[in-house]
A and B are shown apart, each in its own frame.
Chain A
Amino acid sequence: MITINYFGNIAEAAQSDSETLDLKSMSLEDLLELLDSKYGIKKFQFQVAVNRKIISTKQGLSLSDRDEIALLPPFSGG
Chain B
Amino acid sequence: MERFQRQTILPGIGISGQQKLQDSKVLVVGAGGLGCAVLPYLASAGVGSLGIVDGDKVELSNLHRQVLYSEKSIGEFKVLESEKALSSMNSQLTITTYSVFLTLENVDNLITEYDLVIDATDNTEVRYILDEACRVAGKAMIYGSIFRFQGQVSVFNYQGGPSYRSLFPEEDQSSLNCAEAGVLGTTVGMIGMLQANEALKIILGMGEILSGKILIYNMLKNDQQIFELAIQEKVISEKAISSTIDLISVEKALVEGGLLLDVRELGEKPVVSLENCIQIPLSVLESRLDEISKEAKITVFCQAGSRAISAAKILKKANFQQVKAIRGGASDLLKLITNEKSIS
Q: Is B172 a contact partner of A73 (Cβ separation < 8 A)?
A: yes
Given known pairs A17-B218, A52-B226, A74-B175, the reply for A45 and B168 (CB within 8 Å) is yes
Q: Is B175 a contact partner of A9 (Cβ separation < 8 A)?
A: yes
Which A residues, 1 to 38, have Cβ-Cβ distances below 8 Å to chain B?
5, 7-9, 11, 17
Task: Please give the distance in Å from A15's CB to the nearest CB on chain B.
Answer: 14
Q: Is B218 a contact partner of A45 (Cβ separation < 8 A)?
A: no
A4 to B339, CA, bound (A): 54
Chain B 176-202, CB-CB to A under 8 Å as 1, else 0, gives: 111001010000100000000000000
Given known pairs A8-B150, A74-B145, A74-B168, the reply for A44 and B174 (CB within 8 Å) is yes
Asked whether A70 is an interface residue with its Cβ less than 8 Å from the other chain, the reply is: yes
Q: Is A9 a contact partner of B176 (Cβ separation < 8 A)?
A: yes
A11 to B150, CA, bound (A): 11
Given known pairs A44-B172, A45-B172, A45-B174, the reply for A75 and B232 (CB within 8 Å) is no
Q: Is A75 a contact partner of B152 (Cβ separation < 8 A)?
A: yes
How many residues of chain B are within 8 Å of chain A by beta carbon? 43
Say which residue of B170, B175, B228 sits within 8 Å of A8 (CB atoms).
Answer: B175
In the bound complex, residues from chain A placing their C-beta under 8 Å from that of B34 are: 78
A54 to B34, CA, bound (A): 26
Q: Is B178 a contact partner of A53 (Cβ separation < 8 A)?
A: no
A73 to B232, CA, bound (A): 19
How many residues of chain A are within 8 Å of chain B by beta carbon? 24
Say which residue of A17, A52, A76, A78 sits within 8 Å of B228 (CB atoms).
Answer: A52
Given known pairs A77-B183, A78-B146, the reply for A56 and B230 (CB within 8 Å) is yes
Which A residues, 40 to 64, have Cβ-Cβ distances below 8 Å to chain B?
43-45, 47, 49, 52-56
Q: Is B232 a contact partner of A47 (Cβ separation < 8 A)?
A: no
Asked whether B163 is an interface residue with its Cβ less than 8 Å from the other chain, the reply is: no
A5 to B176, CA, bound (A): 20
A26 to B168, CA, bound (A): 25
Q: Is B178 a contact partner of A77 (Cβ separation < 8 A)?
A: yes
**CB closest chain-B residue, reference A9:** B175
Given known pairs A52-B225, A54-B167, the reply for A78 and B147 (CB within 8 Å) is no
Chain B 141-177, CB-CB to A under 8 Å as 1, else 0, gives: 0001111101110000000000000011010101111
